[in-house]
Amino acid sequence: MMGNNGKKVGYFEPLLADRKEQQFNGVSKMSSRPQFFAKLRILFENACDVLPIMTTAIFSHPDCKRHEMGSWHPECPERLEAIEDQLIAGRVDSCIEHREAPAAAIQDIARIHDAAAIAMVRDHIPSPAPQGQNSSSCTPAHAGYYPIDADTILNEYSWKAALRAAGAAVAATDAVIAGEIDNAFCAIRPPGHHARPSGAMGFCLFNNVAIAARHALDVHGLQRVAIIDFDVHHGNGTEEAFADDPRVLMVSFFQHPFYPYSGADSTSRRHENMVNVPVPAYTGGAAVRELVRDKWMPALHAHRPEMIFISAGFDAHREDDLGQMGLVEADYAWITAQIMVVAEQYSKGRIVSCLEGGYNLSALGRSVLAHLKVLAGLD
Ligand SMILES: [Zn+2]
């Protein structure tokens, strides 16, 4: 997009021009002290080429890299390292705040999951693998792992990681609602959107986004929130948690027919608050942008969400082997910009984005970089 002076202008820059003006002209008056000093630090370190328009934070925790399900498993700790590497290489890492995720309280998780689902994870954490037997030689049948199902597996750190992942989403929600930051990205694993209220599923232990959305509704008293899921797989767990809850609008697209083989049947179509758009394999960016404009946007404008949560899976990328869709980084940037326009209009800019899928390490890192640059107003 080109501005009047021929300079490249970000997707949502016209909309945020006033806000940017305020930020540059009156940063000490407009911002809280931590934000002010964070921006000063950025200025003096000269680490960023430009001052971010938004105050964006990444929430994560080292325990999220200690949960692993065997060296064969695509949902691996290296995913978070790939994201970190790309943020550094893209000169974005030092422009955004980093916060350590607290462990979620059990009562936070219990707003979505029943006691048996929580106990299934907590009570089956295995002992460490025996000395000399590292993870690369282990399969789920070896000591050190407990398989919940064929591809959802616990190791000794999984409980802690799951608490930190859900805790990141909850803490990000608190920080955004408190106005400490404009928006947040939770660089977390295990992912969450397949986890059903009744139990773990599809690499997911607890449904991080659902827990955060319910927290915003029940603890902060918001009346309406939206959940946007652009993972290549249907977020069946999130749909189950909020089906027919008029406070929550969920919009998504997903490859179909494909795992988990839900979301496109007559049962789903009966839930008026679910805008599911199943798409065939090999759907590319142009068709996705069209469905976002035609299906998602009218529903989001009608719902007027006070806060937006994103199930940010990047496995619809054309380089990702776990899906067969054709998105590229520019599509994720475009989708993020559309979400920001809705958030600015109805939600005071409040967005909490949580990592879901994305298994090609390079494509994942590049796509998260594109997503975060738009969230932070750096693109
Ligand atoms: Zn996925």
Per-domain residue ranges of the chain: 13-46, 54-129+136-375
Structure-token match 């809850």, residue found? 245
Rounded mean pLDDT of 46-73? 87
Question: Ligand 1 centroid to 312 CA: how many Å?
Answer: 9
Residues 6 or more apart whose CB falls under 8 angstroms from that of 117 comprise 195, 196, 197, 198, 199, 200, 206
Burial of 174 (0-12, 13-18, 19+ CB in 10 A): middle
Residue 161 and residue 189 in contact, taking contact as beta carbons nearer than 8 Å: yes
Q: How far, in Å, is the centroid of ligand 1 from the Cα of 203?
A: 9
- Residue 299 has a pLDDT of 97
Which residues neighbour ligand 1 (ion) by CB within 5 Å?
231, 233, 313, 315, 357
- pLDDT tens column, 238-290: 999 999 999 999 999 999 999 999 999 755 567 899 999 999 999 999 999 99
With a cut of 60, say whether residue 85 has pLDDT above it: yes
Rounded distance from Cα 74 to ligand 1 centre (Å): 11
Cα of 179 vs centre of ligand 1, distance in Å, is 31
Q: What's the pLDDT tens digit per position in 108-128?
A: 999 999 999 999 999 999 998
Region 23-46: mean pLDDT is: 44
Residue 186: CB atoms within 10 Å: 33
Confidence at residue 9, expressed as pLDDT on a 0 to 100 scale: 37
- The CATH classification of domain 54-129+136-375, taken from the options 3.40.800.20, 3.40.50.1360, 3.40.1800.10, 1.10.10.60: 3.40.800.20
pTM to 2 decimal places: 0.86
* Residue that the structure tokens 């949580």 belong to: 354
Whether the pLDDT of residue 18 is over 70: the answer is no
Task: Look at residue 114 in the predicted model and tell me its pLDDT.
Answer: 98
Going by pLDDT thresholds of 50, 70 and 90, the confidence category of residue 29 is very low
Q: Please write the tens of the pLDDT for every residue from 137-189.
A: 444 445 899 999 999 999 999 999 999 999 999 999 999 999 999 999 999 99
CA of residue 54 to ligand 1 center, whole Å:
28
Percentage of the chain with pLDDT > 90? Answer: 79
Q: Give the containing element (helix H, strand E) for 59.
A: strand 56-60
For ligand 1, the distance from its centroid to the CA atom of residue 3, given in whole angstroms, is: 36
> Which tokens go with 325?
């869709």
Mean pLDDT for the stretch of residues 198-209: 98
pLDDT above 50 for 15: no
pLDDT, averaged across the chain: 88
Residue 21 pLDDT class (50, 70, 90 cuts): very low
Q: How far is the CA of 217 from the centre of ligand 1 (A)?
A: 26
Question: Per-residue confidence at 53, pLDDT binned at 50, 70, 90?
Answer: confident
33 pLDDT more than 80: no
- At 49 the pLDDT is 64
Q: Measure 32 CA to ligand 1 centroid, in angstroms.
A: 37
Query: In sequence order, what are the residues at sequence separation of 6 or more whose Cβ sits closer than 8 angstroms to the Cβ of residue 194?
Result: 201, 202, 203, 204, 233, 235, 236, 237, 260
Question: Given this model, what pLDDT does residue 128 score?
Answer: 86
Q: Which residues, 6+ apart, have CB-to-CB distance to 261 below 8 Å?
A: none
Which pairs count as long-range contacts for 240-246, CB under 8 Å and 24+ apart, including other chains? 240/196, 240/197, 241/112, 241/196, 241/197, 241/207, 241/210, 241/214, 242/210, 242/213, 242/273, 243/271, 243/273, 243/274, 244/271, 244/272, 244/273, 245/273, 246/273
- What residues are labeled active site? 194
Query: Is-contact 270 315, C-beta < 8 A?
Result: no
What is the pLDDT, as a whole number, of residue 39? 52
For residues 121 and 200, is the Cβ–Cβ distance under 8 A?
A: yes
**6 pLDDT exceeds 70?**
no
Distance in Å, CA 196 to ligand 1 centroid: 15
Q: Report the pLDDT value the prediction gives residue 16, as an integer from 0 to 100.
A: 36
